[in-house]
């Protein structure tokens, strides 16, 4: 999250909106957003509706859910999908920005 | 478990943001790309 905040302007420059979806409730989101002054849109999904429809994997052997990222272009088409295998398996901003440039 | 298919329409959704405003994925169509970041939780 801190990594994304760092390059927020670069994503904005490329006309890319960042939506963060998570299993926490609105109060937990709000607290986290305030504590970290995050510039992107936070979407609490405590009922896991979107998390399930996008297939975020639940690893039964480790606590918690794995991170995932999906890049959707202006036509609403999914152009990049990354399902993390562990907590630290998140694509680098430079990779995402290069990908956006190639759309 | 359902997963997103590459180069196919991303599943539409509608969720309330931190201020209670409804955000639909389709709100951004024709306007900006969208990077969806699925967070594992803040714990």
Distance of CA A67 to the CA centre of its chain: 8
Phi-psi region of A51 (alpha: psi -120 to 50; beta: other; left: phi over 0): alpha
DSSP B9: B
pLDDT of B12 reads 96
A62 band by pLDDT with thresholds 50, 70 and 90: low
Query: Quick check: A85 pLDDT over 70?
Result: yes
User: B7 to each of A15, A71, A72, A81, B43, how far by Cα in Å?
Assistant: 19, 10, 9, 10, 33
A50–B15 C-beta distance less than 8 A: yes
More confident residue, A74 or A62: A74
Confidence of residue B3 (pLDDT cuts 50, 70, 90): confident
Residue B26 DSSP SS3: helix
pLDDT at B1: 46
Q: Is B22 on the interface with A (CB under 8 A)?
A: no
Q: What is the pLDDT of residue A61?
A: 55
Domains for chain A: give ranges and CATH numbers. Answer: 2-101 (3.40.30.10)
Using a CB-CB cut-off of 8 Å, the residues of chain B touching A102 are: none
Looking at residues A77-96, what average pLDDT do you find?
A: 88
- Token readout for A12 is 């904005």
Count Cβ–Cβ pairs < 8 Å, chain A vs chain B: 158
Cα distances (angstroms) measured from residue A39 to each of A2, A79, B34? 11, 24, 15
Among chain A residues, CA nearest to B31: A74
- The CA distance from A10 to A23, in Å, is 27
What would the pLDDT profile of A9-56 be if each residue is shown by its tens digit?
Answer: 999 999 999 999 998 999 999 999 999 999 999 999 998 889 888 887
Cα separation of B32 and A103, whole Å?
A: 12
B1-10, B15-24, B30-39: least confidently modelled range = B1-10
CA Rg value for chain B = 12
Considering the entire predicted model, what is its pTM? 0.91
């Amino acid at each position: 999250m801190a990594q994304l905040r760092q390059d927020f302007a670069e994503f904005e420059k490329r006309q890319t909106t960042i939506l963060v979806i998570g299993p926490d409730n609105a109060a937990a989101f709000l607290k986290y957003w305030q504590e970290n002054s995050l510039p992107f849109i936070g979407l609490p999904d405590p009922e896991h509706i979107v998390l399930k429809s996008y297939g975020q994997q639940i690893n039964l052997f480790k606590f918690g859910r794995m991170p995932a990222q999906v890049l959707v272009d202006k036509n609403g088409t999914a152009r990049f999908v990354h399902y993390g295998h562990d907590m630290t398996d998140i694509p680098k901003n430079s990779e995402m920005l290069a990908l956006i440039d190639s759309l | 478990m359902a997963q997103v298919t590459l180069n196919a329409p991303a599943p539409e959704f509608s969720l309330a943001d931190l201020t209670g405003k409804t955000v639909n994925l389709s709100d951004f169509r024709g306007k900006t790309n969208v990077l969806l970041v699925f967070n594992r939780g803040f714990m």
